[in-house]
């Protein structure tokens, strides 16, 4: 028996739960009354509200990805430089929150950021004015970074712990200091992990709707909220436009994945070292 037989259940799963829903979305996006039409896509592109929401979502996802990279890379680097026992313990601490339900983690931030929450209670104890942190764009950004930061740390850490230590020693032997060694040896070698982390953060950040709903209070509609509104709130008549919006998002996600994959391939072909 060929080993490929064991892949058949997974292939069936993909056909039923991934490919079939995507084809259904494409069908609704390009049909109206059972006939082919581009009207749904034209409506999705021509409505300034839809495009404004899309641009806002992309911008927030880009900012969240950048913040996760700026925070995640130093954390991953420090973990890779620690003793294995200490690094393993801290690694688990980053993983543990991911075992908790996504919505519960986001609800927890409501408790922290509320006017009578823990943070404002602490500010009052320090005789500082209370801050209106909940239901703001900053709260959405905070929730997004918190939920997706581990997805940036883990791939970078995985790459860094596999880095050949002899390359760093060779750089020091050639007279390179710590800063030059980092930018010429360590950083280029970790590019595949960075690209994987960017992909794993940007894609869910641009498609999320629970964070903006819970921490934004519905004041800052993102693209995921817009699509959910078309399917859940407006009813079946809005499904074609909702499918067109979903199709646009699908193309955007696939394009970003293709760009990241090509960048990762180029980094691998160049060997990762920039002397």
DSSP state string for 38-53: SHHHHHHHH-HHHHHH
pTM: 0.87
Q: Where are the alpha helices (DSSP H) in 134-238?
A: 137-160, 165-173, 178-181, 187-189, 191-207, 210-216, 223-228
pLDDT per position as a tens digit, 5-49: 777 888 899 899 889 988 999 999 999 877 899 999 999 999 999
pLDDT per position as a tens digit, 92-145: 888 888 888 888 888 889 888 888 888 888 888 888 888 888 888 999 999 999
C-alpha 174/C-alpha 167 separation (Å) is: 11
Rounded to a whole number of angstroms, the CA Rg of the chain reads 23
């Amino acid at each position: 028996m060929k080993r490929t037989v064991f892949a058949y259940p997974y292939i069936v799963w993909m056909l039923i739960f991934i490919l079939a829903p995507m084809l259904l979305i494409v069908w609704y996006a390009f049909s109206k009354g059972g006939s082919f039409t581009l009207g749904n896509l034209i409506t999705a592109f021509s409505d300034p509200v839809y495009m404004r929401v899309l641009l806002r979502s992309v911008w927030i996802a880009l900012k969240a990805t950048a913040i996760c990279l700026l925070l995640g890379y130093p954390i991953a680097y420090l973990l890779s430089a620690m003793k294995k026992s200490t690094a393993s313990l801290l690694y688990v601490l980053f993983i543990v929150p991911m075992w908790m339900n996504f919505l519960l983690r986001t609800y927890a931030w409501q408790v922290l950021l509320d006017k009578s929450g823990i943070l404002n209670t602490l500010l009052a104890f320090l005789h500082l004015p209370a801050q209106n942190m909940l239901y703001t764009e900053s709260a959405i950004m905070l929730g997004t970074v918190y939920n997706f930061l581990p997805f940036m740390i883990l791939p970078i850490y995985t790459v860094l712990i596999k880095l050949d230590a002899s390359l760093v020693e060779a750089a020091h032997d050639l007279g390179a200091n710590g800063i030059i060694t980092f930018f010429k040896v360590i950083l280029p070698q970790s590019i595949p992990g960075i690209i994987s982390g960017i992909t794993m953060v940007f894609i869910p950040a641009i498609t999320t709707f629970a964070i903006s709903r819970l921490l934004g209070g519905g004041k800052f509609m993102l693209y995921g909220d817009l699509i959910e509104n078309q399917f859940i709130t407006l009813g079946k008549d809005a499904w074609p436009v909702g499918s067109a919006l979903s199709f646009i998002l699908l193309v955007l996600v696939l394009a970003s994945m293709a760009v990241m994959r090509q960048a990762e391939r180029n980094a691998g072909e160049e060997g990762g070292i920039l002397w």
